[in-house]
Amino acid sequence: MISHAIEVLRAGGLVAFPTETVYGLGADAANPSALRRLFEVKGRPVDHPVIVHVARAAQLDELGRDVPDVAHVLAGAFWPGPLTLVVRRRADRVAAEATGGRDTVGIRVPDHPHALALLDAFGGGIAAPSANRFGRVSPTTAQHVRDDLDGDVDVIIDGGPCVVGVESTIVDVTGAEPVVLRVGGIGEDHLAELVGTRLRRLTTGEIAAPGTLAAHYAPDARVELVRVDQVDARAESLRAQGLAVGVLDAPADVGEYARLLYQRLRELDGRGVDVILAVPPPPPADRQGIGAAVADRLRRAAAAR
Ligand code: TXA
Ligand code: MG
């Protein structure tokens, strides 16, 4: 399987592969025509950068340049794992097509045996956005990838359900201080422990980070966020209007919530509900660790389209 996938990547094809966060849709990060096909299949605007995956932390300096110490510290602590570091790009190793023409690149080492075997055998960087159509719910099983992209992907490597379930935390280390561009699998509290201070989080007003659009990660059904004590009344009132309602309850454990979030949104869509009532993690869990990522994705799924 891996050797066939490597041939496909070298020939400019697309390989979907599992990571600990979500499934990625991979292409050779140094091959402009493969990257153009990747954006086409995904339906993604060409100025919207993708993350480049590598096998080892040492490759941070092979694909990036002027990498600051704080990046090495974070990579040393969290790789392999759900952290993406945005650094300056080496133009000869990462094609401009991967980064929407920017002179920076997001890099990460994923924590999944199949992904690491693929990256190790490939040697270079594999550019991979989440393996869903643009703006939709990310895939956390190989079947989700088939549901979305079958026919347009050359190989799908099945590594079972993703254990983290939400995308990586993205930290931009190209400026005077590191900035969190997207909350995700690594909690901001864990980053702060390492860096010694809480990192600034980019807020929606200053979005320079493409892909952190307000409406994103969205199922077909309309998503409404409700408190747990409001679910029954709201469901009843929607049903009285003739709408089919699905309820996404909050598992008490936020890690479990993250792991199941996208799968449950997809299941409810599959049942054809009109409205999904979702109960976000209650405070303070919505601001800590992976709970912040769950709360963030639910907000975006609920944002008006
Ligand atoms: O967990 C993940 O990060 C998954 C798995 C497959 O690794 N990947 C993923 O990729 O979520 P994608 O393309 O769906 O989201 C990547 C986001 C972009 O939307 C963009 O906001 C940010 O990463 N990004 C990538 N490169 C960037 C750069 N050079 N500057 C700023 N933001 C960047
Ligand atoms: Mg995505």
| Confidence (pLDDT) at 212 | 55
Instruction: List pocket residues of ligand 1, CB cut-off 6 Å.
Output: 19, 21-22, 24, 49-51, 82, 84, 86, 99, 102, 104-106, 110, 128-130, 167-168, 170, 181, 209-212
Tens-digit pLDDT profile for residues 236-256? 999 999 999 999 988 989 999
| Confidence (pLDDT) at 215 | 64
| Confidence (pLDDT) at 152 | 96
C-alpha of residue 225 to centroid of ligand 1, in Å: 25
Distant-in-sequence, close-in-space partners of 75: CB < 8 Å, separation ≥ 6: 57, 60, 83, 85, 109
Identify the band that residue 206 occupies on the pLDDT scale cut at 50, 70 and 90: low
Angle subtended at Cα 112 by Cα 212 and Cα 23, rounded to the nearest 5 degrees: 40
Q: Which atom of ligand 1 is nearest to the CA of 182?
A: 21
Tens-digit pLDDT profile for residues 16-64? 999 999 999 999 999 999 999 999 999 999 999 999 999 999 999 999 9
Tens-digit pLDDT profile for residues 252-275? 899 999 999 999 999 999 999 999
Q: Ligand 2 (ion): which residues have CB within 5 A?
A: 130
Residue 277 near residue 245, CB atoms below 8 Å: yes
Residue 208 pLDDT exceeds 70: no
Buried b (16+ CB within 10 A) or exposed e, 72-86: bebbebbbbbbbbbb
Considering the entire predicted model, what is its pTM? 0.96
Tens-digit pLDDT profile for residues 123-179? 999 999 999 998 889 999 999 999 999 899 999 999 999 999 999 999 999 999 999
Residue 4 pLDDT exceeds 90: yes
Listing DSSP states for 31-81 in one string gives -HHHHHHHHHHHT--TTS--EEE-S-GGGHHHHEES--HHHHHHHHHH-SS
C-alpha of residue 134 to centroid of ligand 2, in Å: 7
Asked, as a colleague might, if the bond just before 284 is cis with ω within 30 of 0, I would say yes
The average confidence (pLDDT) of the chain is 94
Closest CA to 98 of 87, 111, 89: 89
| Confidence (pLDDT) at 217 | 78
Residue 10 pLDDT exceeds 90: yes
C-alpha of residue 269 to centroid of ligand 1, in Å: 25
Region for 207 from its dihedrals, namely left if φ exceeds 0, alpha if ψ lies in -120 to 50, beta otherwise: beta
Tens-digit pLDDT profile for residues 276-301? 999 999 999 999 999 999 999 999 99
| Confidence (pLDDT) at 202 | 86
What percent of the chain has pLDDT above 70? 95
218 three-class SS: strand
| Confidence (pLDDT) at 218 | 84
Identify the band that residue 114 occupies on the pLDDT scale cut at 50, 70 and 90: very high
